[in-house]
């Protein structure tokens, strides 16, 4: 599979589902990913940030509302159009570009690059990651989040029924069919060693946990669903 194949699959998401995603994203983003990412970002007023794989643009808007100067890149035409429409109706000064992350060509321009739940959906993730690192100013920070590759069972209901996560074929690379398109399983060492080989300095790993155990969300309290990596370029 090449990048364009998965981009076309993501373009099948209907407008109603895009709109229903909300101003702060779904439950996982609201309760787990967003708080952890903004804690890592700190004070972003006046900072130049690249939202790499911006989707509906929800995170771009949240960062712009906190005073950041945001550039958002999204390849899927439906998601890109929606984000542009939101910017037209609610201007925040966000610059949107429709591009594959593997084709961006920023050089040392940004204080932060954030790729939120994107890298694991890109077939050629190495090129995309390299492009994100190249976009960082000296001493700047790259933050990305992915489905936790060690605990990839996706059904919270199954965890509630069994009380544990099943892990199999961890060391293999393989595709995971989603409702729209594919995600790709890769080992944690694949991601981290690639960053190290590219000269990045790994600064922090975050496995977000719910503040309290909630009905139907026991898995997110006991076993991490996501992994966030912060590194310096």
Instruction: Give the domain CATH number at 61.
Output: 3.40.50.150
232 - beta bridge partners? 141, 201
CA distance 1 to 32: 30
DSSP element (H, E) containing 59 = helix 58-65
- Residue 35's pLDDT is 98
Write the Ramachandran bin of 204: left for phi over 0, alpha for psi from -120 to 50, otherwise beta.
Answer: beta
CA distance 97 to 94: 10
Residues contacting residue 99 through CB under 8 Å, at least 6 positions apart: 73, 74, 75
Q: 17 lies in which domain range? A: 3-232
Using CA of residue 92, residue 68, residue 70, residue 190, what is the dihedral sign?
negative
- Residue 215's pLDDT is 87
Q: Which parts of the chain register pLDDT below 70?
A: 154-155
DSSP element (H, E) containing 115 = strand 110-116
- Residue 154's pLDDT is 66
**How many other C-beta atoms lie within 10 A of the C-beta of residue 115?**
25
Q: Report the number of distinct structural domains present in the chain.
A: 1
Q: Secondary structure of the chain: what % helix, strand, coil (to 5)?
A: 40, 25, 40
CA distance 129 to 113: 10
pTM of the model: 0.95
């Amino acid at each position: 599979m090449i990048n364009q194949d998965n981009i076309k699959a993501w373009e099948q998401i209907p407008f109603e589902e895009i709109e229903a995603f909300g101003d702060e994203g779904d439950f996982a983003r609201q309760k787990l990913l967003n708080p952890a990412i903004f804690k890592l970002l700190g004070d972003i007023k006046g900072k130049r940030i690249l939202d790499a794989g911006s989707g509906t643009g929800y995170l771009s808007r949240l960062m712009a509302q906190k005073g950041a100067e945001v550039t958002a890149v999204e390849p899927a035409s439906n998601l890109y159009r929606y984000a542009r429409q939101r910017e037209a109706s609610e201007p925040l000064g966000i610059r949107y570009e429709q591009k594959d992350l593997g084709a961006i060509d920023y050089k040392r321009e940004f204080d932060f690059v954030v790729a939120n739940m994107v890298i694991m959906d890109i077939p050629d993730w190495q090129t995309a990651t390299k492009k994100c690192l190249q976009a960082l100013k000296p001493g700047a920070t790259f933050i990305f989040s992915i489905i936790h590759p060690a605990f990839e069972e996706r059904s919270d209901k199954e965890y509630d029924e069994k009380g544990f996560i099943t892990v199999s074929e961890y060391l293999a690379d393989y595709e995971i069919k989603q409702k729209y398109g594919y995600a790709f399983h890769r080992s944690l060492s694949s991601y981290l060693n690639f960053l190290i080989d590219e000269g990045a300095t790994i600064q922090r790993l975050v496995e977000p946990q719910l503040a309290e155990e909630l009905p139907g969300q026991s898995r997110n309290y006991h076993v991490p669903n996501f992994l966030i990596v912060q590194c310096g370029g």
